[in-house]
Amino acid sequence: MIASATLNLPTKFRLIRLELAREPRHPQGDSHIGYTVVAPLEKDGRLDIETARAFKEACRVVRFHAAREHEEGYLRRRPGGSWAFHYDFDDGGEDDDPAYRLGDHRFVRGEYVTLQEDEGEHTYRVVSVEPL
């Protein structure tokens, strides 16, 4: 899904990989748990809000986990200006992983992003940011 969504996008779009950072249940972090995100970034690594709004359907996310099926969704700006990773399911259900101050984060290798998931809050490390 991500590959087909990346054709003819502005050069600001990047492929971002987030991996689970160290936490009590994963003292070394885990490269098999995380997210792949396609989103436009400003030069400083922050989300480009205007480009994301103009190319809303191209702002994609894949949640990956070694023990579960991958889930494909979208990066969405929520009412009030916060951001979330949004998923629509075949059964009509939805799920959001709200991101703590995602618009303020810099998607630069080595930085961290915190997400609120169903099982609690987790921090992810930005491991790569590549042009499409």
Listed by start position, the domains of the chain span 3-131
CB 92: neighbour CB atoms within 10 A? 6
Question: CA 128 to CA 33: how far, in whole Å?
Answer: 14
What's the DSSP call for residue 70?
A: -
Of the two residues 78 and 123, the one the predictor is more confident about is: 123
Lowest mean pLDDT among 1-15, 74-88, 96-110: 1-15
Q: How far is CA 50 from the centre of its chain?
A: 17
The pLDDT assigned to 117 comes to 82
Q: Report yes or no: 122 and 22 within 8 Å, Cβ to Cβ.
A: no
Q: What is the reported pTM? A: 0.87
Q: How far is CA 91 from the centre of its chain?
A: 23
Instruction: Tell me the per-residue pLDDT of 9-39, one tens digit each, with 9 for 90 and over.
Output: 999 999 999 999 999 999 999 999 999 999 9
Q: Which residue has the tokens 């998607």?
A: 107
